[in-house]
Amino acid sequence: MEAKSDIRFTRKLIERLAKAYNVVVLTGAGISAASGIPTFRGKDGLWNKFNPQELASVDAFMRNPELVWEWYNWRRQLIRDVQPNLGHYALVDMEAYFPEFYIITQNVDNLHQLAGSRNVIELHGNIMRNKCFDCGKPYAGEIRLEKKEIPRCPECGGLIRPDVVWFGEFLPEEAIRKAQEVSTAAEVFFSIGTSSTVEPAASLPYLAKGNGAYLVEINPEETPLSSVADETLRYPADQVLPLLVIALERIRGRAKKN
């Protein structure tokens, strides 16, 4: 999708970006919408009879790990069939303009990394990775269910599970600590495509603004953050971010970091 020509950035934002050293971006499902990732209730209705909380939880995995893995393998295949969009690639370009640039994402779809972003903090894990249910050790093998057997950890014998945060689980401590750390230091903070209702991610923009960051929301819909943001852009990320990269080229030139 081409970026709209009527999108305008305020002089204040341009001035802050022109001198910023540290920029932080928080992303939610909205940034991946243009990639065409189907929602849980896809048009084929394959999983319509299930509630996500009945599949994405420890209790569900303990009751029926094969069913949970069937769902996650289905979701993985859907994601493998899509590509990063202009919003993801624009964030890769933005990273080159600032000495410190971090993406904090609530998404598990791996599209930021696939696009080429390097400093990605994953709050909810990554659907393309596996780990041991018991000891947490990463597991690199594929999960094939032809024999209806879930692989077990070679270290402790625990069942292998997707490396994502399920309902009722705590977020990774290191990811939260790092996200709070970089948010506190941000000079400009972007909240992109997130409902701003899921904690603890929803608190990060407020943490940044409370420490002096210029807060920008990019979201077609109004959210609880809208009234607090210094600037709101009511367009999809794949329309706004490519234009922002063009603006950065003008104000910061090609003096990019390696």
Which of helix, strand or coil describes residue 220? coil
Q: To 5 degrees, how large is the angle CA 162–CA 176–CA 93?
A: 85
Distance CA 143, CA 151 (A): 7
Distance CA 29, CA 193 (A): 6
Give the residue carrying structure tokens 């394959």: 46
What element of type H or E holds 209?
Answer: helix 204-210
Residue 187 φ then ψ, to 5°: -95, -35
Catalytic residue among 124, 131, 161, 209: 124
**DSSP letter, residue 159:** B
Would you call 88 a catalytic residue per the annotation? Answer: no
Distance CA 71, CA 125 (A): 17
| 8 A C-beta contact, residue 226 and residue 202 | no
Distance CA 185, CA 203 (A): 15
What is the DSSP pairing of strand 100-105 with strand 120-122?
Answer: parallel
Of 99, 134, 75, 36, nearest in space to 255 by CA: 99
- Which residues are known to be catalytic? 124
